[in-house]
Each structure stands twice: as structure tokens, then as C-alpha cells.
């Protein structure tokens, strides 16, 4: 009996040898403001997301998949550094012309994979700042940036598309920039006659509702002011097409060796202006039309892997940078046309919120032939991809690198006995003092100022009075409807103490 037992042990251990020998390609597709319930395999019933659904059907769909912040810049920072964003000042939503937030010398996910022999690229939305302390030199070489922190190539929207300027960054320079028409970015209105969403509101093709009323480009007013760079400016409707085209070309060129692509979609973030072929194809206005466009992007990328015979050698992660929001500054009909659609699924809150809907988002892994399709309840997060991919590639992390990233590789690959992370801190944008802390089935919610934003996605973004601390059993009560803090005082004290330890420490 010893020989068969040994044989089967070797067989199954070989089945789970994944890092050192195979080194699969890695593609991380990160949506922007996509809620748990925004895809049809997780409850969306008024429109379909067939390509994302196919990804889930061929892979592992996580019901407790998280990002670590309910806004974009801090989640992206944590994803690339394996560090909770609240540990670093200046990681809130980056303004136009913000300097680089992740500095050269920082241990990063692309840097680690590059060390492991991967070609690395980021294509899509950046929003992590560029350039030195004074910000980017839009008319010269822009450094530091993605190429200084581990990426071999980048093709980017430098900030986020409701902020200026509307240009592409290719590696270290603005694409198609005419030197005789330099870009100028301003904090204040550059001249009295400069057109803005306030002075020229009647010319807009998409009106603003709050805050997005400065410089106009392509009939849409933005946050911030800029002039020049007319030949370099893009059309909002073409963003997704351009990124897909560039991604496919890069995959084709990189296919001869292991590669890592971070495809950072802008959909369905505002301003929601999908290509004309998607406009009007769904019931909820441009927001759900943008989700249809996102789904198309996923299909194009997965189709490329199939065409190049790379699907069985590519580990794909689909996720979102934070939860959903309806009216986020533009009158695009999302709030008025929401109907019965629940973007956050069964969860309370969305973007800007530390309730579950702010950070529990779509999370899917697929590696055809290695991951057995199914559904997992294990807790995993985008911040964990750093340590997990280091494990996958057999790369030893530098001392102090990725201090908050947990190696949950076995859970990501669907090992039936693997466990996800046992604790997770969730934050909102910056230094508000709002945190969620999940430990097992329990969730402690902390609002230092007693105010919560975007508690109900399908309403206005109003601040709501809440207790400083609340406690929920998110397994029995995923909607966080019953506060159990008075019934569990000792547990509440324990979780408060543990949360404070994590926030105050430099390690997890």
C-alpha cells in the first residue's frame, strides 16, 4: 500500500506546483466604480455581462472579494505596493498634476514580477500622480512614473477622466503633443474669458451636477483648468477602444515570455461617455452602457488569449477599485434611470463608504486547466495580489515589502482546504477616520466624526449621521442592518483594540 499512497501524494503535490515551474502570464483587469451587483452573474437582471460571466463560469468567483479602499487612488496604491494606503500621507484622490505618489525605490508588484523575469505593462487609468515634487512636465519627459517603479511600458490616462488634462501618456511623454501648442495646467481659471462649465453651460453635451464645472473638453466640463495640447487630446468615446487595441498589440509582442498586464479600465467612472455603439444598449443610461463597454473589453482580452493559445498559461484576475455610485458629478441619468437595479447587490453603501458596498466588489480568478470553476466564500483582496503572486512565481519579497499583503494564493487558485485572510481593514478616501474592520464573520465599523457618505447607492450622496462604532455579523447580515455592538461589548472592545493596533503599526 505504500507505493500507491506515495504515488497519489506526488501526483497531487505536482498538481499544485504552480509557481517556480510554470510562471504563468498574469492579467489584472481592474474596473472603476463597479459594484458587486453590476454584473449579471452576481444579480444584475436588466442587462447582461456575458464576457465577465464567462470569466466567472471558467474560473472562481469570490463572494467576499474586496478592495481595501472605497475610492480609486488609495486602492490602486495598495494594490501596487501591498501596503494599506492610510499608512502613507497623500494617498487620497489625486488632484490634476499631482506628483508621483509611489516613488522610485518603493517595492512594487510590477517590480517584483520584473525581478521574476516578467515583461510588465500598465494600460488604462493611472491616477497615482506623475513627476517630481512639482508634478508632471506635460511638455517634456515625465518622470518619475510607472517606468520608475517596475513597469516596462505604460499607455495611460494620467489622472482620471473627470480631471484635466485629456491626453495619453505613452511611457514618459504625452502622445501626439505639438511643441508649438504646449499644455498648461492651472489651479485657477487662467483668464477671464476661459470657457468653463459655469460660463458656457449651455454648450455642454453632458451637464454637471456638482463640482465638475471647470475647463470644457469634448462638450464635458472637468475638475481643473488647462489650455493647449489640442492635437494630443482624445475623445472620451474612444478611450476603451484605444486601450484594448494597445493591450492586444502589447500581448502579441510579449507573448514569447512571461508577462504581466495591468489593464486599468475607466468604466463605469464619470464622465460616463461610452463609444457610440454602446450608447442606449442598456436600460439605465450611460452608466450601464459603460458596463456593457467594460464587458466588451473583457471579451476582447480573453479572445486574444484564446487566439494566441495563451488561456491555459494565463492567470486572470477581474476586480474593481471600489464600489458603485450613481450621481458622481454629472447629469448622465444614472440616478433617475436606476429602476430596480441594485449596483451594490445585497450590500449597504458604495463609493466613499466603509460599509460593505464600498469595498466588497466583483472578484474573479481564472486560470484555465488549473483553477476548477466554482464559487468561493474565502476573504481575499486586491492588496493580497502582491504576496500571492510572489508565491506563485517563487520570488522572495524584499525585507519590509508588501507589509499588509497576505499570501492567499491557494485560495485564489481554489484549493478546497485553503483559507483566505483572517482580517481586513477597509478605508474610505483619506484621513477621515472612517474604517471597516472585518475579522472572520464580524465587521466593526468606525466613523470618527459620526458621519457616513453614500450609505444608499440609489440615492443622493448625502452625509448621514451614524454612531461612531457599529458591529455587524456580515455572514448572517451581509446588508449590515442589525447593529450588535451592545449585545457583544467584550468582542467590540477586542476588535477596537485590534483595529487601532493595525492602524498604528507599520506591519499587518
For residue 71, the tally of other CB atoms under 10 A from its CB is 27
Query: What residue ranges define each of the domains in the chain, with the CATH number in brackets?
Result: 23-174+232-365+372-412 (3.40.720.10), 184-227 (no CATH), 423-504 (3.30.1120.10)
Q: Which residues contact 65 (CB under 8 A, 6 or more apart)?
A: 319, 360, 361, 362, 363, 364, 380, 381
Per-residue confidence (pLDDT) for residue 506, from 0 to 100: 62
CB 265 within 8 A of CB 28: no
CB 344 within 8 A of CB 350: yes
Helices (H), 126-265: 239-254
Tell the burial category of 433 from Cβ atoms under 10 Å away from its Cβ (0-12, 13-18, 19+): middle
Per-residue confidence (pLDDT) for residue 457, from 0 to 100: 85
Per-residue confidence (pLDDT) for residue 12, from 0 to 100: 42
Q: According to the 3-state scheme, what is the secondary structure of 226-239? A: EECCHHHECCHHHH
| This prediction's pTM | 0.95
How far, in Å, CA of 361 to CA of 374, rounded? 17
Q: What is the mean pLDDT of each run of 10 residues along the chain (508 residues)?
A: 40 42 89 98 98 98 98 98 96 94 98 97 98 97 98 98 98 98 97 98 98 98 98 98 98 96 98 98 98 99 98 98 97 96 97 97 98 98 98 95 98 95 94 91 96 87 92 98 98 98 77
How far, in Å, CA of 431 to CA of 73, rounded? 13
Amino acid at each position: 500500500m505504500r507505493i500507491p499512497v506515495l504515488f497519489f501524494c506526488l501526483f497531487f503535490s505536482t498538481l499544485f506546483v504552480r509557481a517556480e515551474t510554470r510562471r504563468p502570464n498574469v492579467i489584472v483587469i481592474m474596473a472603476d466604480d463597479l459594484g458587486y451587483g453590476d454584473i449579471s452573474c452576481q444579480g444584475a437582471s436588466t442587462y447582461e455581462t456575458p464576457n465577465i460571466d464567462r470569466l466567472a463560469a471558467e474560473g472562481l468567483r469570490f463572494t467576499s472579494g474586496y478592495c481595501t479602499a472605497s475610492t480609486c487612488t488609495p486602492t490602486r496604491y495598495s494594490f501596487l505596493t501591498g501596503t494599506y494606503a492610510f499608512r502613507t500621507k497623500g494617498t487620497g484622490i489625486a488632484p490634476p498634476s499631482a506628483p508621483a505618489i509611489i516613488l522610485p525605490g518603493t517595492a512594487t508588484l510590477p517590480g517584483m514580477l520584473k525581478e521574476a523575469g516578467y515583461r510588465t505593462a500598465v494600460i488604462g487609468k493611472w491616477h497615482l500622480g506623475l513627476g517630481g515634487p512639482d508634478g508632471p512636465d506635460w511638455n517634456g519627459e515625465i518622470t518619475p512614473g510607472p517606468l520608475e517603479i517596475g513597469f516596462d511600458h505604460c499607455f495611460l490616462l494620467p489622472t482620471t477622466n473627470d480631471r484635466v488634462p485629456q491626453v495619453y501618456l505613452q511611457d514618459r511623454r504625452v502622445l501626439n503633443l505639438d511643441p508649438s501648442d504646449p499644455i498648461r495646467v492651472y489651479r485657477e481659471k487662467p483668464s477671464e474669458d476661459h470657457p468653463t462649465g459655469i460660463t458656457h453651460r449651455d454648450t455642454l453635451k453632458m451637464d454637471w451636477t456638482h463640482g465638475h464645472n471647470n475647463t470644457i473638453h469634448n462638450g464635458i466640463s472637468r475638475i481643473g483648468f488647462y489650455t493647449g495640447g489640442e492635437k494630443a487630446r482624445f475623445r472620451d468615446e474612444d478611450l476603451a477602444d484605444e486601450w484594448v487595441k494597445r493591450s492586444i498589440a502589447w500581448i502579441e509582442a510579449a507573448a514569447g515570455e512571461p508577462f504581466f498586464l495591468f489593464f486599468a479600465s475607466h468604466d463605469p467612472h464619470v464622465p460616463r461617455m461610452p463609444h457610440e455603439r454602446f450608447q442606449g444598449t442598456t436600460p439605465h443610461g450611460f452608466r450601464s452602457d459603460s458596463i456593457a463597454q467594460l464587458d466588451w473589453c473583457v471579451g476582447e482580452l480573453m479572445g486574444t488569449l484564446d487566439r494566441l493559445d495563451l488561456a491555459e498559461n494565463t492567470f486572470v484576475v477581474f476586480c474593481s477599485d471600489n464600489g458603485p455610485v450613481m450621481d458622481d458629478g454629472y447629469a448622465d441619468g444614472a440616478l433617475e434611470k436606476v429602476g430596480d437595479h441594485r449596483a451594490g447587490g445585497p450590500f449597504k453603501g458604495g463609493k466613499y463608504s466603509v460599509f460593505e458596498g464600498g469595498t466588497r466588489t466583483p472578484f474573479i480568478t481564472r486560470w484555465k486547466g488549473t483553477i476548477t470553476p466554482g464559487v468561493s466564500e474565502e476573504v481575499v483582496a486586491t492588496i493580497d495580489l502582491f504576496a500571492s503572486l510572489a508565491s506563485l512565481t517563487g520570488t522572495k519579497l524584499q525585507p519590509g515589502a508588501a507589509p499588509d499583503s497576505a499570501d492567499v494564493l491557494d485560495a485564489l487558485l481554489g484549493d478546497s482546504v485553503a483559507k483566505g485572510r483572517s482580517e481586513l481593514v477597509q478605508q474610505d478616501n483619506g484621513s477621515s477616520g472612517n474604517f471597516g474592520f472585518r475579522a472572520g464573520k464580524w465587521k466593526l465599523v468606525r466613523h470618527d466624526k459620526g458621519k457616513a457618505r453614500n450609505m444608499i447607492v440609489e440615492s443622493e450622496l448625502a452625509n448621514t449621521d451614524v454612531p461612531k462604532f457599529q458591529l455587524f455579523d456580515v455572514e448572517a447580515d451581509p446588508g449590515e442592518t442589525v447593529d450588535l455592538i451592545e449585545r457583544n461589548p467584550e468582542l467590540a472592545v477586542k476588535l477596537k483594540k485590534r483595529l487601532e493596533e493595525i492602524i498604528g503599526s507599520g506591519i499587518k
